[in-house]
Structure 1
Amino acid sequence: MKQNILKSVKGFLHNTIDYAGLFPPASLNLEDSFDNFVEYSNGSYNWMLSKFICPFRKTKDLSLLPGFKSSTQKIRLSLLSASSLKTDEFLLLFKDDILSYRKLPDEFHDKSIFETIELKFPLELVERNSKDNIRIFLDSLSEIVKEHFDHRIFIFCELPLIGDFDHNLKNTVKEICEHNEAFNDAGFKLRTGGTDPSDIPSPDILVSSIRQCLVHNVTLKFTAGMHHPIRHLDKGMNAKMHGFINVFGAAYWHFVIQFQIANSGK
């Protein structure tokens, strides 16, 4: 029985957890964070682990780490782009990040696999809340990536928790879906925690995000505040924090229900 349960757990959580040791609550330096990632990659729970999260601006430093140079495994990377409040400025910074990455030595590229980019929508784009603007922005990102890489790099787009979030969410996910008809390279990213109670979205926002992404067949990633398995009261912030088992479980059951409805003929 124990072995069967373990198989189901492995199937449920296989490669689902990116490692973000550079960020709170750990807030480690780059070397310690990377060394931890390598250690966990060789540990007994490595089946849960996916990519090492690193800002673009730290990739040069990453390439110089002794641990990176001596690593015998391909390091899967998810890179965070620079941010800006203005859309045009954001795109310029995004292109600069890509160009700087391309200039890294061949040894770095040989030892790593660049799989995903993570970014936060410019505030200007969110405030305008125009479907056309969102679509143009997404297409521009993909065109920049395609110009410099032969392989597909997936782009996760985070929507800030401001304004009429539910309305913004529906517009954004729908535009990602339509963008994917041409590029098939974008997903939605929801911030599920942080260092302040206001950073934690309500369960309703979580459910709405899961539902919209399922309806539009958009890949969903959760970030921050997911370092505990079960939802609980954090005494330091005096707020309830989400747990990754709860959130992943909710997403799974939403998928099951959608699948049953789609195949029931009702």
Structure 2
Amino acid sequence: MTNSLATLLAGSIDYAGIFPPAKLSVDQAVRSYVDYRQQADAWLLGRMVCGVDRLPELAACSSLLRGTPIRLTLVCPTVGDFKDVADFQRAQAAHFCVAALELKLPAWMVESVDSLDQFLDHVSKVTDALAMRNADVFLEIAAGDWGNALTNVLSSIQARGSTRVGLKIRLGGLSENALPTPLQVGIFIDACRSAGVRWKATAGLHHPLSRPKESGQTEFGFLNLFSAAVLACVHQLAPSQIAAILAETSADAFQFDERSMSWGDHGATLSEIADGRRESIRSFGSCSFEEPRDGLRQLNLFGASDPLEVHQTESPS
């Protein structure tokens, strides 16, 4: 394991075992998460993802925890669910820490700047009132909203100067004609970078490297995604250049050593990788921790020992 790869992917996998296709019980998912963070590869582990409707089941699992509370990302259908989250956090502070909230923006809202402004102001007031002002909030734009909608949302977030509000992009679990292309994802990454807005990804990222689907669409690799996000920050890459990294299918095209990483002519030092992570991609949601980890092992990217130095943006627990 090299320091550059460890820095690129530290805390990158948000474990979402209760969601399809794994669909584990909350009890099983908590047990798995607790087990994963005791393993040597725990540096890859980010937050645990759970739906707000499963909070009673989550509370019932508190006896399974040992030591450090689990950092949670909670998927909320509406802002009205934030009160349930706050009540849960107060009651379960010794066992769980709500680090992030996720909301899906309705299509009608993203077309109206005024509606977005009102919504984000409301989110801010609610989180402040419920003492959750330190939780990240990730807003998902529906598939296909790649034009004015993306610009509107980013402009509204940027105008408020909040570093806690980011975007969420879905790269799988959609119909074939709704899946984004590498260029569309490149546009998304470039737009977020330009606006100074962090983001996370979910679904479809089962393997380290991208691969073509029979339909002609791209199944994105998380190694591609994180490399593209960081290098876009370091070199101010255009969407087409970002898309080329996202579409790369050869492991040999990515180079990692103790001091830097590179793809083609574009490289980044350890400090630049760490800065790129802080400024761009937060993590990706996966219903499996083992599948992406084992994919890295199959590429022979894991050495015999743990990394000596990992520039993390957050504790993986």
- Please say whether Structure 1 and Structure 2 have the same fold, judged by a TM-score greater than 0.5: yes
Of 235, 243, 246, which aligns to 2:224? 246
TM-score by length of 1: 0.82
Of 37, 44, 48, which aligns to 1:41? 37
User: Structure 1 pair 31/70, CA: closer, same or farther in 2 (3 Å)?
Assistant: closer
Of 170, 179, 199, which aligns to 1:191? 170
Are 2:208 and 1:214 equivalent residues in the alignment? no
The corresponding residue for 2:69 is 74
Residue 15 of structure 1 aligns to a residue whose secondary structure is coil
**Separation in 1, partners of 2:203, 2:178:** 9
TM-score by length of 2: 0.69
**Separation in 1, partners of 2:229, 2:86:** 36
User: Structure 1 pair 35/111, CA: closer, same or farther in 2 (3 Å)?
Assistant: same
Residue 113 of structure 1 aligns to a residue whose secondary structure is strand
Unaligned segments of structure 1, at least 5 residues: 83-92, 261-266
Deviations 1:53-73 (A, max 9, x none): 0011111111102xx323122
Give the letter aligned to residue 112 of structure 1.
F
The corresponding residue for 2:101 is 117
User: Structure 1 pair 80/139, CA: closer, same or farther in 2 (3 Å)?
Assistant: same
Shift of 1:21: 1.1
**Separation in 2, partners of 1:195, 1:29:** 23
Give the letter aligned to residue 168 of structure 1.
A
**Separation in 2, partners of 1:213, 1:197:** 24
The corresponding residue for 1:158 is 140
Asked if 2 retains the 8 angstrom alpha-carbon contact of 1:166 and 1:208, the reply is: no
Asked if 2 retains the 8 angstrom alpha-carbon contact of 1:24 and 1:194, the reply is: no
**Separation in 2, partners of 1:167, 1:124:** 12
The corresponding residue for 1:26 is 22
**Separation in 2, partners of 1:200, 1:38:** 33
**Separation in 1, partners of 2:107, 2:211:** 31
Give the letter aligned to residue 229 of structure 1.
P
The corresponding residue for 1:94 is 79
Residue 103 of structure 2 aligns to a residue whose secondary structure is strand
Q: 4+ residue stretches of structure 1 with deviation over 4 A? A: none
Asked if 2 retains the 8 angstrom alpha-carbon contact of 1:24 and 1:195, the reply is: no
**Separation in 2, partners of 1:241, 1:36:** 26
User: Structure 1 pair 52/154, CA: closer, same or farther in 2 (3 Å)?
Assistant: same
Give the letter aligned to residue 141 of structure 1.
V
Asked if 1 retains the 8 angstrom alpha-carbon contact of 2:76 and 2:103, the reply is: yes
The corresponding residue for 1:149 is 131
The corresponding residue for 2:47 is 51
Give the letter aligned to residue 210 of structure 2.
R
**Separation in 2, partners of 1:106, 1:210:** 36
Asked if 2 retains the 8 angstrom alpha-carbon contact of 1:197 and 1:239, the reply is: yes
Asked if 2 retains the 8 angstrom alpha-carbon contact of 1:142 and 1:185, the reply is: no
Asked if 2 retains the 8 angstrom alpha-carbon contact of 1:191 and 1:199, the reply is: no
Unaligned segments of structure 2, at least 5 residues: 238-265, 267-317
Comparing both structures, which one devotes a greater share of its residues to helix? 1
Percentage of identical aligned residues = 27
Residue 17 of structure 2 aligns to a residue whose secondary structure is coil
Residue 42 of structure 1 aligns to a residue whose secondary structure is coil
Asked if 1 retains the 8 angstrom alpha-carbon contact of 2:75 and 2:102, the reply is: yes
Give the letter aligned to residue 257 of structure 1.
H
Higher relative contact order (CA 8 A, sep 6+): 2
In the alignment of these two chains, the number of paired residues is 237
User: Structure 1 pair 35/238, CA: closer, same or farther in 2 (3 Å)?
Assistant: farther
Residue 69 of structure 1 aligns to a residue whose secondary structure is helix
Are 2:114 and 1:132 equivalent residues in the alignment? yes
User: Structure 1 pair 105/94, CA: closer, same or farther in 2 (3 Å)?
Assistant: closer
Residue 93 of structure 2 aligns to a residue whose secondary structure is helix
The corresponding residue for 2:3 is 7
Shift of 1:162: 3.2
Shift of 1:251: 0.8
Written as runs of structure 1 = structure 2, the 5 A alignment for 1:174-185 is 174-179=155-160, 181=161, 183-185=162-164
Deviations 1:142-180 (A, max 9, x none): 1101101155111000100135x222112211211112x
Deviations 1:1-50 (A, max 9, x none): xxxx5211111111121111122232222222222111111112110111
